[in-house]
Structure 1
Amino acid sequence: MQTLNRYLTPILHELERFMQCYPLSNEHQIIKHLQTQKISPFETFSLADSKDLFNAHFLCMHALYQLKKQYQLSQKYRLVISAIQIQRITINEVKALSESSPTSLDSTDPLESYYLNSKHYFDTQKAQIEGMLTSFWQKYLAQDEKNAALAVLNLPANADAKMVKTRYLQLVQKHHPDKGGSNQAFNKIQQAKTVLDKAF
């Protein structure tokens, strides 16, 4: 089985240096730093290429989860890894946060086993990566459309199907052209309801 061990030592060393300076950062900042420092193989990745982007992402996350394990063993720091930020906190900060919110830092990370399995780095093909990217963008755009439709109906982001239906009926009554409303406003409400019907 292929491993990523040949890359890990310099990556982990540089990650440790980076986290000392920037205990709160994100994956993009880390990858850019590793590229700037010419840490192998990051200096060879072109982030415009989907396979290189996947490899940079996977290798960065793999190394972060390895560092997280090292921190757990040393019991000096805790590494919190999420989609939007990477944060290194001291054990004392962990204790203080745990007391104020007991479940926030103790939850298991379902992605950890994925990123610690180097098989995914070597076996994931370009077509699979393209599929993942397409799926991501479809979900991202669908979320944008949903938010825009909720705004048309003047509903909060956490609105459910029942709230949508109730608000839709209120607005249709108010803006229906047969009741003196505007065709344009009525059509906008109809389109928003169509989008939201797909979302729920």
Structure 2
Amino acid sequence: MDNNFHPDLLACVLELIQQDPQGVAEHQLLKSLATKGYEVFSPSLEPLALFQAHFLLFHLLYRQRESWYQQGHGWLQIDCLNIQFHPVAYEADAKTENELKIDDPLARYYLDFEHYRQTQTEEVVALLENFWLRLSTNQPNKVIEAKRILNIADDQILSIELIERQFRQLSQIHHPDRGGKKHDFQQITQARAVLKSSI
């Protein structure tokens, strides 16, 4: 996979973002691109495939942001929950021009295509688990609650196999790409990280 994007893909992404002035969530944009035949953005439960689709989309957005701004489409806000063009006059052109020049660590990360090429499944899983673990450190009785979320009995002995089996079963129901709710999927992902760290 290289990082040269076909003009048709760029036009499609631009059109999808512009369709809703209020912005579009990343998962919806990925789903729309997959529906239009761009299989590289197809939803997946596999961590590496999920990371790669996310990375490619954000790489494309960060690469095109300045170009689209110069073409008069507006300033592109890039966030997982909302990808949105703001009008060219958005909070004065001077501020927007300055934003283009600010050293943005996220932009730097996504513009470096080596992250796409070199990131392995284990790294993605570790990143996700660390994220959920950090979120859960202040919760009392977090292991008991995590067991409840993954439908594991309080007295059942934990193992990686058990945790993964329960997570996979619930992912089939709760993953947003399978019609589930994002909040529910986040809960089971967090519960998985908490339980794995407790073994």
What TM bracket, shorter-length normalisation?
A: 0.5 to 0.7
Q: CA RMSD in A?
A: 3.0
Deviation by residue 1:75-129 (Cα, 9 ceiling, x = unmatched): 4411011243211011123428959xxx999865320011011111111011111
2:29 equivalent in structure 1? 30
Residue pairs, 1:61-100, within 5 angstroms = 61-95=58-92
Q: Structure 1 residue runs of 4+, over 4 Å off?
A: 96-99, 103-108
Moved more, 77-86 or 12-21: 77-86
Q: How many residues align?
A: 139
1:19 equivalent in structure 2? 17
TM-score normalised to structure 2 length: 0.60
Which whole-Å CA distance do the structure 2 matches of 1:21 and 1:76 have between them?
Answer: 12
- Matched-pair contact (CA < 8 Å) for 1:11–1:63: no
- Matched-pair contact (CA < 8 Å) for 2:73–2:85: no
Structure 2, unmatched stretches of 5+, are 143-199
2:115 equivalent in structure 1? 120
Deviation by residue 1:19-56 (Cα, 9 ceiling, x = unmatched): 2202312211111111111214224xx42010110011
Equivalent AA in structure 1 for residue 88 of structure 2: I
- Matched-pair contact (CA < 8 Å) for 1:94–1:105: no
TM-score normalised to structure 1 length: 0.59
Question: Which of residues 125, 128, 133 is equivalent to 2:128?
Answer: 133
Deviation by residue 1:147-166 (Cα, 9 ceiling, x = unmatched): x9xxxxxxxxxxxxxxxxxx
Which whole-Å CA distance do the structure 1 matches of 2:129 and 2:50 have between them?
Answer: 14
Equivalent AA in structure 2 for residue 52 of structure 1: A
Question: Which of residues 52, 63, 70 is equivalent to 1:55?
Answer: 52
Which whole-Å CA distance do the structure 1 matches of 2:118 and 2:76 have between them?
Answer: 27
